[in-house]
Each structure stands twice: as C-alpha cells, then as structure tokens.
C-alpha cells in the first residue's frame, strides 16, 4: 500500500502517526512545498517577534520522517492530481503514484487585485517562508509596516512586528476579528492593540501600493490618504486551497466535501485540515473550522481510515485563540448569531472593564453554541466541553458566568459520571495486567470549588 499526503503540517503529522499504528509496512510519502522539516505554524509569530529562534519551531523531532519511515519530498509543489491514473504531479513534472491520497493543502490568502501587489516588500503571513522574508525586509528597509486585514492572521502579524520593534498600522474595513467576535469583543481587542502601540485605521480600504525602484514605499487608501511604509502584509482573509481539486470530480463547496470518515467523492482520496469542510458541532452543518488542533485531529482520523480502520470523525467547533499583550482572547463556536443571520439564540454576557474582561455565552434550545472569553479563561475549558458535547444546560444557564453552586454541582455530577467505573488496561509490555479502575476524588473537587476568583463581575446581562 502506498499512502501519499499532500501537505506537511498538522494534518499530515496526525495522518502519519495514525497510519503507522495500523500499517507498519506500507509506503508513506509526504509532499511539502516548503523545504523545511515539519514545523509549528502557530510559532512563526513568536519567531518573527524574536521570542524564539528557528531551532525551536519543529513540530516533531528531527528524526520524525526516518522513525515513521516516511519519504519526505520537500520544496516541491504539487501542481496536478490524476485521479484516474492515481498520480500526483509535481512542479518539476515528476509523478508520484498513490493507492490512498490525503489532501491537506490548508488555506491561502486571497490577495486583492490592485496596483503594486507584486512589489518587493509585499507579503502574506502564513508560512515560515513569509516570516523569513519579513525579517529580512525589516532589517534593510523602512521600520514601518502596514498590515491589511483585521482577522486572526492580521492581528498575529501586527503584534509580532510591533514586538520586533517595527511601527505598525493595522488597516481594517469595519472592526477587528469580526468573523469570530461580536462588536463588544472587537472594541475591547482594538483598545488592547492600541495600548500595545499599534495604530488602527478603520473604515478605509486599500486602493494602491506605491513603489520606488521596485520596493514598497507606501500605500494609498480609498479616500486618497497616503501612508508611508516599507512592508505591506496582506491578511485580507483566507480561503481553502482548492487549486488541486478544481475540475477533478472531487466535490467542493466552501471546502472539499467529506463524509464522516473524511473520504471525498473518491473513496481512496481523503481530505483534512483547513481545506476540508467537515461537520460543525454547534451549527449542525458542514463548515470549515480552520485551526491547528482541529487539523491534527482530522489528519489522525483520516490516517486511520486510509489504513483500513473505520474511525468516524464526530466533528469540531471553531476555536480562535490569541493574546493581546498579557490579555488572552478565546472565541468558540457561534459568537455572534446576528452576523450569521441566525435567530432563536439567547445570549448572556459578563464584563469587568477595569480588568479588560469580557465573557459571553450563546445558547439555543438550552444548549451552548458558542462563547467568548477575554481576560479571564476560568471556565473556558468546561464551556468548550459543554459546546462539544452539546449537553443540555437549561438548569444552569444562569449559573455559568456567575459561577455559583449550581454550576459546580452540575459539573461535579458530570465528571463523576465520566470517571466512575471506567477501567484502563495496561499495555502488554507492563508487568501488571490488572486494569486500573478510575474513581472520582471528592476531596480534590471540593478544594477546586473553594478556589476564589480573582475578580468581581459587574453583573450578568441577559
């Protein structure tokens, strides 16, 4: 059996590790368009900021490919798939045969079609190649950068550049993180960014990028204003990278459509990660939840199924995590039903402006559908689990943000039911084969309940 994986990131790693749990003999080939060992893309922001060196970026150990018996074809872009002949063609015209194929090509930035977009100093911020490029540009060119786009990637780029000592202007059409935060959450994040020294230009669009001798010199806004800069980071939104499957017969919508086993229209072709449209738990429909943990999990499930196991994928929830200075920001699931033109939702919020805290829960039919946590992540883990499991929470809806005894009683019973009576069988290599029986620790839970919160809420808004 020959397994070919297009992509060399989180989903690919998850797939390889799962394949090898089932099939130790089959051939595994990874095709990556960058020449680097698999690295952690979330860390490139810290690399650009100077917080970590490139020696700290590896997502798996240096011997990963060798240990997993993987042929890594790195630095070559896959340009075409022949599904009938079961071959993947590379940019150098080499063809790689496959029996099972996993497409995990991720997403790509949608660049605006404007004058100057191809000048030196214009870049995206998705890959390590981009981070190296920006570092080199910042050393030799202007110490001012403009980041175009106020989404997750734009904010990461703006913060990293600012932490690296570069003056930054963030250009946003409406408000920052508008796809994952509501208006109140965006307003708080904008104030935090400004406190970090990042200028925000709102309500304007990029019209042109000016150049001098082929190098960026500034930008022109749609109101005619000129902003001088030597670097332009384009972060105007991302979309699944569907180039390889367009007009191949693989069914696509917003992303590649897959079944619960992550198979595409072709039973021997799978998709995972940011390119795949999988089941969204709170929405109950196919959706693209592009983030690193989801990609790794989907890749793992796809790998099992490629190797012949039948492991269903139960779905994911959208999750965006970022820190602005020392303030954490987490968005889960459906955070702003009105922006999705959805009705029938109930929302509860809790704020403490002095401590930069904003929390929001979104309910429908007595189930949690989404949440925002800014500044205080106290119950973020428990809320995420309630969203993922779609637990009925009607009796504690009014207790979650106030964190009273009803909430802890509910969580205590839930945890106890999960633990009591469960047994763990030790691996065959262990001396003892007596299963370990899990139990609920009443004393530890009681101590956890006594842990005092460090802030006082200003009330819960219905």
DSSP one-letter string for 400-458: TTTT-HHHHHHHHHHHHHHHTT-EEPPPTTSS--SPEEP---HHHHHHHHHPPPSS---
Residue among 323, 346, 335 nearest 371 (CA): 335
Q: Tell me, yes or no, whether 281 and 180 share the same domain.
A: no
Out of 178, 210, 236, pick the residue that ends a domain.
236
Domain containing 426 — which CATH number? 3.30.390.30
In a domain, 34, yes or no: yes
Say if residue 186 is in the same domain as residue 213: yes
The answer to whether residues 449 and 403 belong to one domain is yes
In this structure, the answer to whether residues 45 and 82 fall within a common structural domain is yes
Contact predicate 232/221, CB 8 Å:
no
Does residue 149 form part of some domain?
yes
**Pair 159, 302 in one domain:** no
Domain identity same for 205 and 282:
no
Question: Both 196 and 147 in a single domain?
Answer: yes
Q: Name the token pair of 379.
A: 């119950």
Confirm if 324 and 196 have CB atoms less than 8 A apart.
yes
- How much is the pLDDT for 453? 46
Residues 341 and 452 in one domain: yes
Q: Is 113 inside a domain boundary?
A: no
In a domain, 117, yes or no: no
Domain boundary residue among 212, 236, 260? 236
Same domain membership, residue 157 and residue 225: yes
* Residues 213 and 148 reside in one and the same domain: yes
Three-class SS state of 241: coil
- Any idea which residue has 């003056």 for tokens? 167
Q: How many domains does the chain have?
A: 3
> Does residue 321 form part of some domain?
no
Pairing of strands 226-228, 357-364: unpaired
Q: What is the CATH number of the domain that holds 135?
A: 3.50.50.60
Q: CB–CB of 276/256 below 8 Å?
A: yes
End-to-end CA distance of the chain: 57
In a domain, 19, yes or no: yes
**Domain range spanning residue 348?**
326-461
Contact call for residues 141 and 230 (beta carbons, < 8 A):
yes
SS3 353: helix
Same domain, 153 and 252: no
For residue 114, being part of any structural domain is answered with: no
Quote the CA–CA distance of 223 and 236 in Å, as a whole number: 19
Clarify whether residues 335 and 257 are in a common domain.
no
pLDDT given at position 164? 92
In a domain, 300, yes or no: yes
pLDDT tens, per residue, the chain with 462 residues: 999 999 999 999 999 999 999 999 999 999 999 999 999 999 999 999 999 999 999 999 999 999 999 999 999 999 999 999 999 999 998 999 999 999 999 999 888 999 999 999 999 999 999 999 999 988 875 689 999 999 999 999 999 999 999 999 999 999 999 999 999 999 999 999 999 999 999 999 999 999 999 999 999 999 999 999 999 999 997 899 999 999 999 999 999 999 999 999 999 999 999 999 999 999 999 999 999 999 999 999 999 999 999 999 999 999 999 999 999 999 999 999 998 888 899 999 999 999 999 999 999 999 999 999 999 998 898 899 999 999 998 888 888 887 666 676 677 767 667 666 666 666 655 556 666 666 666 666 566 555 544 444 445 554
Whole-number pLDDT of residue 378: 83
């Amino acid at each position: 059996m020959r397994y070919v994986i297009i992509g060399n990131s989180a989903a690919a790693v998850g797939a390889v590790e799962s394949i090898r749990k089932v099939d130790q003999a089959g051939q595994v080939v990874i095709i990556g368009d960058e020449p680097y060992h698999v690295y952690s893309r979330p860390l490139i922001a810290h690399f650009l900021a100077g917080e970590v060196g490139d020696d700290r970026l590896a997502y798996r150990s240096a011997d990963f490919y060798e240990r997993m018996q993987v042929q890594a074809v790195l630095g070559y872009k896959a340009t075409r798939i022949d599904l009938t002949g079961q071959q993947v063609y590379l940019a150098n015209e080499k063809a790689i045969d496959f029996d099972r194929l996993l497409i995990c090509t991720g997403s790509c930035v949608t660049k605006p079609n404007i004058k100057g977009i191809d000048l030196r100093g214009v870049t995206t911020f998705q890959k390590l190649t981009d981070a190296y490029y920006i570092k080199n540009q910042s050393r030799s060119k202007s110490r001012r950068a403009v980041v175009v786009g106020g989404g997750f990637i734009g904010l990461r780029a703006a913060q990293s550049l600012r932490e690296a000592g570069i003056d930054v202007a963030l250009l946003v059409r409406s408000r920052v993180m508008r796809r994952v935060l509501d208006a109140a959450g965006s307003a708080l994040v904008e104030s935090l960014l400004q406190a970090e020294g990042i200028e925000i230009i709102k309500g304007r669009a990029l019209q042109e990028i000016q150049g001098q001798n082929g190098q960026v010199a500034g930008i022109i806004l749609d109101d005619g204003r000129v902003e001088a800069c030597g670097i332009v980071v384009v972060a105007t939104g991302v979309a699944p990278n569907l180039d390889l499957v367009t007009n191949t017969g693989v069914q696509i919508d917003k992303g590649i459509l897959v079944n619960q086993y992550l198979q595409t229209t072709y039973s021997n072709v799978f998709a995972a990660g940011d390119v795949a449209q999988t089941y969204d738990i709170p929405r109950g429909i196919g959706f693209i939840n592009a983030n690193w943990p989801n990609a790794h999990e989907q890749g793992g499930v796809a790998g099992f199924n490629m190797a012949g196991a039948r492991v269903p994928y139960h779905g994911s929830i959208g999750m965006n995590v970022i820190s602005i200075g020392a303030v954490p920001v987490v968005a889960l699931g459906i955070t702003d039903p009105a922006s999705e033109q959805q009705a029938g939702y109930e929302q509860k919020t809790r704020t403490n402006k002095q401590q930069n805290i904003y929390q929001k829960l979104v309910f429908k039919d007595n189930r949690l559908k989404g949440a925002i946590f800014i500044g205080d992540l106290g119950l973020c883990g428990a809320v995420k689990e309630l969203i993922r499991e779609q637990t009925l929470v009607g009796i504690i809806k009014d207790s979650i943000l106030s964190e009273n005894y009803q909430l802890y009683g509910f969580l205590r019973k839930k945890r106890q039911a999960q633990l009591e009576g469960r047994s763990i069988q030790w691996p065959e290599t262990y001396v003892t084969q007596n299963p370990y029986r899990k139990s609920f620790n009443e004393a530890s839970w009681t101590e956890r309940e006594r842990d005092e919160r460090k802030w006082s809420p200003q009330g819960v808004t219905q």
